[in-house]
Amino acid sequence: MAAPDRSELRITDPRALRALAHPARQQVITELFSGEVLTATEAGRICGLSPSAMSYHLRALEKWGIVERDESTDGRERPWRATANAINVTPEAHRGAGEAVSRRSVHTWFSDLEGDLDRLVDAVGDGESHGMTSRGRLWLTGAEEAELREALHEVVRRHRGRSRRDHPEGARPYNVYALVLPADEAATPDA
């Protein structure tokens, strides 16, 4: 069952981007923004950190409105959840944070990509037909590029809200990367 749309969290403050530029924080953000509700102990286990270290990172993310406390079901556990269904770091945040922080944040955010590609190759080698890769070049106006980004976001939104505790029978997790990146015009032959 899909969770209600709680909108998109837009990160505009460069200081919030700096708070995101830590591998464990980005890993737990991926989990929480996919619909999971986790205690610091559960999140720490996923990230390979102690519960106290994970609590520190969760509180740092809470300071920027990225995560928040969820209701406890037993009065002891203190679960955390994402404050929205999606997170979008704006170009303004990247510019304000500076090139080094922006670069580190982006590279950390996509650090799992290589492992995910290896799993795709393994699945194809095992005869599975899960996952896909696609690459191409489009010549787009600014308005067309914005329209493409929104269309990609809409496709992903249709499947949000599923978690390891609440998903259709037979579902398995997929990491979804939607990249629309500027091409190197100098390397593109004149049309």
CATH label of the domain that carries residue 167: 1.10.10.10
Q: Is 112 within a domain?
A: yes
Q: What is the pLDDT of residue 68?
A: 96
Q: What is the pLDDT of residue 162?
A: 82
Nearest to 81 by CA among 172, 163, 12: 163
Q: Which 8-state DSSP code applies to residue 38? A: B
Q: What is the pLDDT of residue 189?
A: 64
pTM: 0.75
Q: Is 89 within a domain?
A: yes
Q: Is 3 within a domain?
A: no
Q: What is the pLDDT of residue 42?
A: 95
Q: Which residues of the chain have pLDDT under 70?
A: 1-6, 75, 128-129, 187-191
Q: Residue 96 in contact with residue 14, Cβ under 8 Å?
A: yes
CA separation for the pair 67, 48 (Å, rounded): 19
List 8's β-bridge partners, or say none.
86
Helix (H, G, I), strand (E, B) or coil at 141: coil
Q: Residue 61 in contact with residue 67, Cβ under 8 Å?
A: yes
Q: What is the pLDDT of residue 188?
A: 62
Q: Is 191 within a domain?
A: no
Q: Is 2 within a domain?
A: no
What's the structural domain count of the chain? 1
CA separation for the pair 47, 54 (Å, rounded): 8
Q: What is the pLDDT of residue 56?
A: 96
**H helix intervals, the chain:** 14-20, 23-33, 40-47, 51-63, 91-97, 99-109, 113-125, 142-157
Q: What is the pLDDT of residue 110?
A: 85
- Domain containing residue 44: 8-186
